Structure 1
Amino acid sequence: MNPAAPRVLVIDDEPQIRRFLDIGLRAEGYRVLLAATAAEGLAIAATQSPDLVILDLGLPDRDGQDVLADLRQWSAVPVLVLSVRSAEGEKVRALDHGANDYVTKPFGIQELMARLRVLLRAQAVAGNGADPVPRFDDGCLRVDLARREVSLDGAPLALTRKEFAVLAMLLQHAGRVVSQQQLLREVWGPSHVQDTHYLRIVLGRLRQKLGDDPAAPRWLKTEPGVGYRFLG
């Protein structure tokens, strides 16, 4: 097996599907990582940095939609949802949570491989490569994106899901401006790109918890009329 070949993580609780995908992916030259539960899949995603994830929604320990939402808080890895759920609402929800593609079961292996190639090419063009290490620590603020842990001066900091998601997205783009619309689209969904008051409220609470003065920010800087920047 080529050590430079893309690694694909399959998260699916059906042994026959995992076996089928394992054989098919290896035949196409991919390296394969297998997980039967949400917890196992997230752990592998955090520690082994796959190049692409194939995610089932009907997992035994957690709904795949929630797994996708959690994964998107700290990783930009391409995700292809593979599910028996064919309702339009499920597809829209998965895409809103950050899925890159959606294939319903039963599926054709050649079509699936073609979709994987498209996602991997898009990832290469975007220049994202491997995900950055999902941690930040400047001696005062510590953020572990994979474990969803935040501490300030050694004390755990309790953040809401939206507060953590906004902080994670800004941290992943540290030094660069992230537009209000991009934050709203990724954290709240495409239907909320105009709801800037949501973002202002969450940023205000986040700054208060961090003790970050907006007039002299240490971490969260407002770029007026554009968006926000993480200064770490």
Structure 2
Amino acid sequence: MNQPLILIVEDDKAVRNLIAATLDTQDYRYLTAGTGEQGLQEATLRQPDIVLLDLGLPDGDGVSIIRRIRTWSLMPIIVISARSEDRDKIEALDAGADDYLTKPFSVEELLARVRVTLRRLRYIQNQNAESPVFTNGELTVDYSSGCVYLRGQELHLTPSEYKLLCLLARNVGKVLTHTAILKEIWGSTLDSDVASLRVFMTTLRKKLEKGPGSFQYIQTHVGVGYRMLRVEPSDENRKAAPGEETHDAANQNGSFQP
């Protein structure tokens, strides 16, 4: 089986070469492009499995590239950008990006993001039609009956908690912004509703991640949104302390300064 094909769209030659060398260590196939237009051409002709996209391109903003790709494809897009403000992350994710990695970044974290995205892609590709049952670690969601089970015991969720869980499960591994969740669940995009969303998400997490040694299923990206983590049988990713908010942060040790 061929290794995944990854498209790198980055105008900085040093960063582009670093990413290419990193992918090469894992035997991933890759393509490179130095401009947005070149990236679009490669994406159209070669249909890569993942796009690694910089936002600050010489011929336009990367967010516009995301929007153009999303008019014809759902190929995963991981943004790699020096823009670290929440509003930049939210704009890119709302435009259709699947993940956001901030420069400077460690090569270990980049590879981890790629692995997570590939797992999610394989999961989607293996579903010829939506399965009536979603399983993740010790969690099971039976869409047909509307029931949720944790370690074989039924969980009692409110209608809003159940809708949130289903939305996260159907997008496992992908960061969903507050705006996207509010629009999908309640048809609202008001900033004032984010506080209510946090309350519902807190109660949902307490039900999913109760008891010592429980898996962490929901990851909080502070100021941005939430992501359901894919739990593997050997995953050591355990539950955070009660009330703790976790979010992605670049590993500064061994990170690359573009």
1:72 aligns with: 70
Match among 26, 36, 41 for residue 34 of structure 2: 36
Q: Following the alignment from structure 1 to structure 2, what is the Cα–Cα distance between the partners of residues 104 and 119?
A: 16
The RMSD of aligned alpha carbons is: 2.5
2:145 aligns with: none
**Offset of 1:71 from its aligned partner?**
0.7
Letter in 1 for 2:16: R
TM-score between the two structures when normalised by the length of structure 2: 0.50
What are the superposed Cα offsets for residues 179-223 of structure 1, whole Å, 9 maximum, x if unpaired?
xxxxxx9xx955544669xxxxxxxxxxxxxxxxxxxxxxxxxxx
1:89 aligns with: 87
8 Å contact kept, 1:38–1:59: yes
Query: Using a 3 Å threshold, how does the CA distance of structure 1 residues 128 and 88 change in structure 2: closer, same or farther?
Result: farther
What are the superposed Cα offsets for residues 23-71 of structure 1, whole Å, 9 maximum, x if unpaired?
1101111001000000000000000010100000000001001111111
8 Å contact kept, 1:96–1:190: no
Q: Which runs of 4+ in 1 moved over 2 A?
A: 188-196
1:8 aligns with: 6
Match among 109, 121, 124 for residue 123 of structure 1: 121
Match among 7, 18, 21 for residue 20 of structure 1: 18
8 Å contact kept, 1:18–1:34: yes
Letter in 2 for 1:15: K
1:62 aligns with: 60
Q: Following the alignment from structure 2 to structure 1, what is the Cα–Cα distance between the partners of residues 74 and 126?
A: 8
| Relative contact order higher in (CA < 8 Å, ≥ 6 apart) | 2
Q: Following the alignment from structure 1 to structure 2, what is the Cα–Cα distance between the partners of residues 65 and 10?
A: 15
Q: Does the residue aligned with 1:117 lie in a helix, a strand or coil?
A: helix
1:99 aligns with: 97
Letter in 1 for 2:27: G
Letter in 1 for 2:21: I
Q: Does the residue aligned with 1:103 lie in a helix, a strand or coil?
A: strand
Query: Using a 3 Å threshold, how does the CA distance of structure 1 residues 190 and 39 change in structure 2: closer, same or farther?
Result: farther
Q: Following the alignment from structure 1 to structure 2, what is the Cα–Cα distance between the partners of residues 128 and 82?
A: 28
Q: Following the alignment from structure 1 to structure 2, what is the Cα–Cα distance between the partners of residues 191 and 67?
A: 25
Q: Does the residue aligned with 1:29 lie in a helix, a strand or coil?
A: coil
Q: Following the alignment from structure 1 to structure 2, what is the Cα–Cα distance between the partners of residues 28 and 69?
A: 29
8 Å contact kept, 1:97–1:189: no
Q: Does the residue aligned with 1:54 lie in a helix, a strand or coil?
A: strand
Aligned residues: 139
TM-score between the two structures when normalised by the length of structure 1: 0.56
Q: Does the residue aligned with 2:60 lie in a helix, a strand or coil?
A: coil
Q: Following the alignment from structure 1 to structure 2, what is the Cα–Cα distance between the partners of residues 128 and 66?
A: 30
